[in-house]
Amino acid sequence: MSTPTVLGAATLNYQLTAYAQGLWNDISDVIKLAERLAPTTPVPGASGQFKKFDDKNSFMPEKTARALGADPVLISFNANDDSYSCRPQALEVRVDLAEDQAAGSIGGDVATNLLDQGKIRALLNKVALSHVIDVTNAVLTGTTGQPGVGNWSDPGVDPIDQINNQLLAIAQDCGSTQNVKLTMDLSVWSTLRSHPKVKARALFGAADSLASISIEQLNAALLYPVDIMPANVVYDPTRLNQTGSKTRALSGVCLVHYSVPNATIYDPSAFKSFTVGTAGFLGSVRTYEAPNQLWRGHLVDWSRDIKQTSSLSMRRINVS
């Protein structure tokens, strides 16, 4: 096994860190939803100020003309801007001595590494799922459904018209059709793609009851092309020893929103996950051993503050 570098009581485990960073890409389907709704935004310190885009003046162009000898126009924070405060987060998993013995890993590096990697996979799955649930909860708490829309079980309603109206509103408020996304729960996608008016548009008038539409066909029927994602994140909010009750993270919700990749404190993404440093939620895996040598712990830690950064950059449709 690799020799870790000491960082206080726990030690940086290079081998497991490299494994975890590779594994993080494999679980991108889970974390992808969080990155769409509240992109990870690196900041230099745990607290600071970010640009709010809650009124149309935030999107106004600046007058850039400068007189000879005069200073340039300054872009600065104002009284309407807000602050972030990243709180520490951490999650740990342990490998008991009995697990080592059962795996036959006492004195065997290969068996030990496989056991540790399995634990890290479970740990990262928990990190990813916990983060995406925190993000979706923040989005659902910070937004309300648009009035008079979303009754897509009514065959007389045209969902495409309703989505296009929200796309037009986003384009007008943000001044751009780039980086606009359509994110919906998988059950909403099922309702949308089976709606007769949607099929009639996407299939060029042939609303065959047996036909189905693709994401590409839906995109072609929209006001302008967008990044479409049916989200399938399911979790159980109940505790151990309680009756299970699985829940969909965005149940019954369709979101039209603006979100840029590589977000900063100055772009008008609707929500952001501020975190200290460029490593995001996966800087390193640290390992330590219990004083009684009955178990060893692997942990990851990070900082985070999920904030709504623009009330104009997201439209929510509650679908029924």
Kindly list the distances between the CA atom of residue 74 and the CA atoms of 8, 40, 53, 62, 66, in Å, as whole numbers in the listed order: 44, 27, 17, 9, 11
Dihedral sign, Cα of residue 155, residue 160, residue 161, residue 162: positive
What would the mean pLDDT of 227-251 be, rounded to a whole number?
A: 80
CATH architecture of 7-57+84-318: Alpha-Beta Complex (3.90)
Gap between the Cα atoms of 12 and 6, Å rounded: 6
Sketch the domain layout of the chain as residue ranges: 7-57+84-318
Gap between the Cα atoms of 42 and 37, Å rounded: 16
Report which of 43, 1, 117, 50 is spatially closest to residue 274, judged by C-alpha positions.
Answer: 43
Q: Which pLDDT score, from 0 to 100, does residue 235 have?
A: 83
Residue 70 banded pLDDT, cuts 50, 70, 90: confident
Q: How far is CA 159 from the centre of its chain?
A: 25
Q: Which pLDDT score, from 0 to 100, does residue 75 have?
A: 73
* φ, ψ for residue 138, nearest 5 deg: -65, -40
Gap between the Cα atoms of 127 and 288, Å rounded: 19
Look at 19-33, 34-48, 120-134, 148-162 and tell me which has the smallest mean pLDDT: 19-33
Q: Any bridge partners for residue 43, and if so which?
A: 276
State pTM to two decimals.
0.87
Burial of 11 (0-12, 13-18, 19+ CB in 10 A): middle
Cβ atoms of 175 and 59 closer than 8 Å: yes
Residue 140, SS3 per DSSP: helix
What would the mean pLDDT of 144-170 be, rounded to a whole number?
A: 96
Say if strands 180-185 and 227-231 run parallel, antiparallel, or are unpaired.
parallel
Look at 50-54, 90-94, 313-317 and tell me which has the smallest mean pLDDT: 50-54
Q: Which pLDDT score, from 0 to 100, does residue 242 have?
A: 58
Alpha helices, H only, 194-297: 196-202, 215-221
Q: Which pLDDT score, from 0 to 100, does residue 6 have?
A: 43
SS (H, E, C) 34-95: HHHHCCEEEECCCEEEECCCCCHHHHCCCCCCCCCCCCCCCCCCCCCCEEEECEEEEEEEEE
Whether the per-residue pLDDT at 137 is higher than 60: the answer is yes
Percent of all residues in the chain with a pLDDT value above 70, rounded to a whole number: 87
Q: Which pLDDT score, from 0 to 100, does residue 241 have?
A: 58
pLDDT digits (tens, 9 = 90+) for 267-288: 999 999 999 987 666 678 999 9
pLDDT digits (tens, 9 = 90+) for 179-220: 999 999 999 999 999 898 998 877 665 555 556 788 999 999
